[in-house]
Amino acid sequence: MRRKHPHLAVSRRKFLAGVAVASGATAVPPAKAATSASTNAPARMPSALPPTAHVAAAETGTPSELSTSRIGGTPGSDFMVDVIKTLDIKYVPSNCASSYRGIHESVINYGRNQMPEFLTCTHEESGVGMAHGYFKAAGKPLMTLCHGTVGLQHASMAVYNAWCDRVPVVIVGGNDLDAAHRPPGVPTFHSAQDINALVRDFTKWDDTPVSLQHFAQSFVRAFKIAMTPPCGPVAISLDAGLQQEPIRNNGERLSIPRYVPTSPPQGDSGAVKEAAQLLANAQNPVIVADRVARSENGVRLLVQLAELLQAQVIDQGGRMNFPKTHYLSRPPTVVSNADVILGLELADFWATVNAWTDNGEHGIGVNSTRIKPDTKLISINSSELLTKANYQDFQRFQPVDVAMAADAEATLPALIEAVKTAIPADRKSAIDKRGEAARKAYAEQRERTKQAAALAWDASPVSTARLVMETWAQIKDLDWSLVASSGNVSNWPNRLWPMEKHYHWLGPSGGYGVCYGAPASVGAALANRDLGRFSVSIQSDGDLMYAPGVLWTAARHKIPLLAVMHNNRGYHQEVMHVQRMSNFRNRVASLGNDIGPIGTRIENPDIEYHKLAESMGWWAKGPIKDPAQLGPAIKEAVAVVKSGQPALINVWTQPR
Amino acid sequence: MRLVRRFGPVALAAGLLFTCSDSFAASAEKGKVAYTQHGCWQCHGTEGQGAVSGPKLAPDPMPIETFTTFVRTSNRAMPPYPEAVLSNDELADIHAYLQTIRKPADYKSIPLLNQ
């Protein structure tokens, strides 16, 4: 961008009037300068005396001739803040950087650091991860500022998680395009010709605005695209010159486009009717849900459909789709007896109805089916509208009988009505009997689950079932939200906790990129803080060690979160890969001085996560190895979190 | 076909293991060490309680014949453990260790599982 236009200042009053007339935006007036130069400062006193406040201000303040604006007008980034403020973005969790210094300054000074409020992060991955978790708790997106090439590279794994998890995040990256004028050295290392190319394969849309009006259009467009199901991250590259230059008076009146949400895509009426016929006439329909419920309404609709059909529901847990206390809630194995399967927003339909076992000849996995050969498959999945070529998040291709490229939650009302019409009168008795059988199966399953949880109940290291239930005992009377469960605790929370509300469980990372748990927990806890909910996370050791600085961000910004550590002191997913390779090759896996294959353990020395957390301002306790000590420790931690602070309990646990 | 091909030598190995049992006394103590060294605990837990990664092994482990056959020939999520990796003696020791693991309390007697 052109950088030098010292004489192209525009009247701020005229500029703001233009914005107001065009959009009705509520711009916040700029904060007054904290200090300003005095025009009649006294002569300097002898240096032996300390300066008065007045003198100090005169010596260190901005000279009067420059106090209005050294750049000769209103900074372009002030207008950017006006645009951002129209979209109700509450926070901007970011790691500070030179490439976006213009908008940084505008956010905290011109925008008074409100809507959005700048939250200090120590890693770009944490900023995006926080935005990811925040959206799933609040239903509203955040933006994050990201520094040039290296900042976006840091952020990229978290962007991929958000992409796979269909979560909107607005990534605004600084970049200095003008090769003739940008600073040499580091800023040039951190600039790129097409910086968004780094994340283009896993963002819904991106742009590099070349004017302020272009920015206004692109930012509102990006927000709109991100928020339209299937949701996803978007990226806007902000040229440093565009941020820093004054608004140019080129005769164009700047305006901010109005944001109107786009309604989500619904299934075609013919396809909905065909699906309803199949479901209504099925002997044993099964509903499988992954990322269906964006809200409490999504849960309610799914319950309505399931009860109408008395169909068993497998909640794959991408979101809290279906109450775990409902008698139709069933484990994944029930697909084997289905004659019709309705898949709703499944990340992987193939793996829902097929199995892949990593134990074939020559190291090649073996495929097998989980379902009967004549089972009819119905899919409602908005991800079909958002398939790109490079990254393989679309999973294996699964042919189905009825496919709707549509948002499941938005399609459920029409499907429910169509099913009501399609159920033959003579089927109603059979459907009721299905419900009775489901109640019995549910009760038996609960018995088996609890008996399994009792195994190794008093073991040390602490069993994952004990970890989960000791936590539950301390939060059950609160309006709780399990914001993340990193690592693998054998899915005990979803098997044992009475999850009923959509925020009782926010789902996993999406792309399984490790380092989601800690930042997403903090981001979700931020949203829950504002909504009056109590946030708890199961925090694994491996996940925390990628970017533990997010703990400091939580303490710094007083974000209450109870993190109960599943510290199994290893990368257990990888342990079995090495063991498998060793067995296939007739070799004994080398353990070195550890108790798992070399390279898979996080021990010797053991990491004292409680001390790590304490050093960053958390209340913390541990390591707890005796299960009898766990309940009292969590009780203490809950009291701390209720007071508004984050707390961490470091627990030595069983592997899974 | 693959299972038939695999089960032949394994059955033979298992037979040898049991016919030699007079001269070999399985040790639960050694079995606990082997259970750790060969990574069994990683998927099944230190007390064989099981997890999403591997089923429960104890209490009441399966008969040693079935146990041996499965460990040697598994075509499921667990990779087979050939004798070069896990000896017959170690396998018997591990089974002996699993037999020592006591039954848990009934979940109905655990207040946290009855809320």
Tens of pLDDT along A141-160?
A: 999 999 999 999 999 999 99
Bigger pLDDT: B115 vs B80: B80
Domain shared by A411 and A382, yes or no: yes
- Is the predicted pLDDT of residue B57 greater than 50, yes or no? yes
A469 vs B77, B78, B112: nearest CB: B112
pLDDT of residue A19: 41
Q: Is the pLDDT of residue A29 over 80?
A: no
Summarize pLDDT for A168-193 with one digit per residue, the tens: 999 999 999 999 999 999 999 999 99
- Cβ-contact A287, A296 below 8 angstroms: no
Q: Is residue A65 part of a domain?
A: no
Which residues are CB-neighbours of A23 under 8 A, at least 6 positions away?
A86, A255, A256, A257, A258
| pLDDT bracket for residue A55 (50, 70, 90) | low
Once rounded to an integer, what is the mean pLDDT over residues A77-83? 98
Domain of B61, CATH number, reads 1.10.760
Q: How far apart are CA A250 and CA A241, in angstroms?
A: 17
Q: Residue A454: closest CA among chain B residues belongs to which residue?
A: B107
Query: Percentage of residues in chain A with pLDDT exceeding 90?
Result: 86
Choose one of A244, A259, A290: the last residue of a domain: A244
Nearest to A233 by CA among A119, A137, A148, A156: A156
Tell me what pLDDT residue A50 has. 52
Residues A84 and A224 in one domain: yes
Do the domain assignments include residue A7?
A: no
Find residue A568's DSSP bridge partners. none
Are B79 and A583 a contacting pair at CB < 8 A? yes
For position B14, what pLDDT does the model report?
Answer: 44
Same domain, yes or no, for A217 and A286? no
Mean pLDDT of A365-391: 96
- SS3 track for A337-356: HCCEEEEECCCCHHHHHEEE
Among partner residues A470, A579, A655, which is closest to B45 by beta-carbon distance? A655
Say how many domains are in chain A: 3
Using 50, 70 and 90 to split pLDDT, how confident is the model at A508?
very high
Closest CA to A292 of A224, A420, A226, A379: A379
From A424, A450, A476, the end of a domain falls on A450
> Does A646 lie in the same domain as A534?
yes
Q: Are residues A105 and A179 in the same domain?
A: yes
User: For chain B, give me the number of helices (H) and strands (E)?
Assistant: 5, 0
pLDDT at B4 over 80: no
* Mutation site for A-interface testing, chosen from B35, B37, B113 by largest number of A Cβ within 10 Å: B113
3-state secondary structure of A536: strand
Q: Rounded distance, CA A202 to CA A392, Å?
A: 10
**Stretch A107-133: mean pLDDT, rounded?**
98
Structure tokens at A153: 């590279």
Q: Closest to A455 (Cβ–Cβ): which among B36, B38, B50?
A: B50
Nearest to A467 by CA among A638, A629, A647, A637: A629
The pLDDT assigned to A56 comes to: 55
Residue A362: predicted pLDDT: 76
Residue A587 within a domain? no
Contact criterion met (CB < 8 Å) for A579 and B39: yes
Count of the separate structural domains present in chain B: 1
Nearest-CA distance from A229 to chain B in Å?
A: 32
Among residues A188, A58, A120, A169, which one has the least CA distance to residue A616?
A: A120
Q: Which chain A residues are closer than 8 Å to B75 by Cβ?
A: 357, 359, 366
Interface of B to A at Cβ within 8 Å reads 2, 36-39, 41-43, 45-47, 49-53, 56, 74-82, 84-85, 104-107, 110, 112-115
Residue A591 located in a structural domain: no
Based on the fold, state whether residues A390 and A434 are members of the same structural domain.
Answer: yes
Asked whether the beta carbons of residue B112 and residue A582 sit closer than 8 angstroms, the reply is no
A579–B79 C-beta distance less than 8 A: yes
In terms of domains, do A319 and A190 share one?
no
Q: Is residue A224 part of a domain?
A: yes
Domain of residue A400 covers: 269-450
Last residue of a domain, one of A450, A479, A503: A450
Same domain, A445 and A461: no
HSE-CB for A58 with a 13 A CA cutoff: 13
Q: Quick one: A108 and A206 in the same domain?
A: yes
Between the two ends of chain A, the Cα-to-Cα distance in Å is 54
Termini Cα distance of chain B: 50
CA distance B6 to chain A (A): 12
Q: Which residues contact B33 (CB under 8 A, 6 or more apart)?
A: none
Tens-place pLDDT, residues B83-115? 999 999 999 999 999 999 999 999 999 999 998
A557 in Cβ contact with A119 (< 8 Å): yes
What residues are paired with A235 via a beta bridge? A171, A206
User: Out of A357, A452, A597, whose CB is closest to B76?
Assistant: A357
What are the E-state strand segments in A189-267?
Answer: 205-207, 234-239
What pLDDT is stored for residue A21 in this prediction? Answer: 36
Distances in Å between the Cα of B63 and the Cα atoms of B14, B58, B67, B97 are 12, 11, 6, 13
Residue in A370, A457, A492, A634 to test binding to B, most B beta-carbons within 10 Å: A457
> Is there a contact between A550 and A518 (Cβ–Cβ < 8 Å)?
yes
Asked whether residue A288 falls in the same domain as residue A425, the answer is yes
**Contact between chains at A589 and B2 (C-beta distance less than 8 A):** no
Report yes or no: A151 and A213 within 8 Å, Cβ to Cβ: no
CATH number at residue A546: 3.40.50.970
Closest chain B CA to residue A631: B112
pLDDT digits (tens, 9 = 90+) for B24-35: 799 999 999 999
Q: Does residue A418 fall inside a structural domain?
A: yes
CB contact (8 A) between residue A463 and residue B104? no
* Nearest-neighbour CA in chain A from B24: distance (Å): 23
Task: Name which of B43, B56, B76 is nearest A455 (Cβ-Cβ).
Answer: B56
A125 CB burial (10 A radius; 0-12, 13-18, 19+): buried
The pLDDT value recorded for residue A44 is 44
pLDDT-derived band at A7 (thresholds 50, 70, 90) equals very low
Q: What range defines the domain where residue B77 resides?
A: 2-102
User: Would the CB atoms of B51 and A464 count as touching at under 8 Å?
Assistant: yes
Q: Does A314 map to a domain? A: yes
- Is residue A438 helix, strand or coil? helix
* pLDDT surpassing 90 at residue A59: no
CA dihedral A8, A12, A15, A21 (to 10 degrees): -170
Beta-bridged to residue A354, according to DSSP, are: A369
Tell me which residue of A403, A344, A397, A353 sits closest to A375, measured CA to CA.
Answer: A353
In a 3-state reduction of DSSP, which class is residue A231?
coil
DSSP string, A607-637: P-HHHHHHHTT-EEEEEE-SGGGHHHHHHHH
CB-based contacts of A210, cutoff 8 Å, min separation 6: A1, A239, A242
Query: Alpha helix locations (H) across A178-295?
Result: 186-189, 212-227, 240-244, 269-280
Check whether A370 has a pLDDT greater than 60: yes
Question: Which of chain A's residues have a Cβ under 8 Å away from the Cβ of B114?
Answer: 450
Q: Please list, in sequence order, all residues whose beta carbon lies within 8 angstroms of the beta carbon of residue A300, skipping any fewer than 6 positions away.
A: none
Per-residue pLDDT at B5 exceeds 70: no
Choose among A359, A454, A455: nearest Cβ to B75. Answer: A359
3 state SS of A144: strand
Q: Residue A413 maps to which CATH number?
A: 3.40.50.1220
Chain B residue numbers with beta carbons less than 8 Å from the beta carbon of A359 are: 74-80
Coil, helix or strand for A87? coil
- What is the per-residue pLDDT for A28? 35
- Report yes or no on A348 lying in a domain: yes
| pLDDT at residue A20, rounded to an integer | 39
pLDDT at A415: 98
Any domain includes B107: no
A289 lies in the same domain as A306: yes
Do residue A539 and residue A477 come from a single domain?
yes
pLDDT digits (tens, 9 = 90+) for A258-315: 999 999 999 999 999 999 999 999 999 999 999 999 999 999 999 999 999 999 999 9
**pLDDT for position A308:** 98
Task: Spell out which residues of chain A touch residue B81, defining contact as CB-CB under 8 Å.
Answer: 583
Residues of A in contact with B85 (CB under 8 A): 582-583, 586-588
CA distance, residue A610 to nearest chain B CA (Å):
24
Q: CB–CB of B56 and A588 under 8 A? A: no
Q: Give the closest of B46, B84, B104 to A654, CB-based.
A: B46
Average pLDDT of chain A? Answer: 91
- Cα-Cα-Cα-Cα torsion A218, A222, A225, A226, nearest 10 degrees, comes to 180
Asked if B104 lies within 8 A of A461 by C-beta distance, the reply is: no
Confidence at residue A72, expressed as pLDDT on a 0 to 100 scale:
83
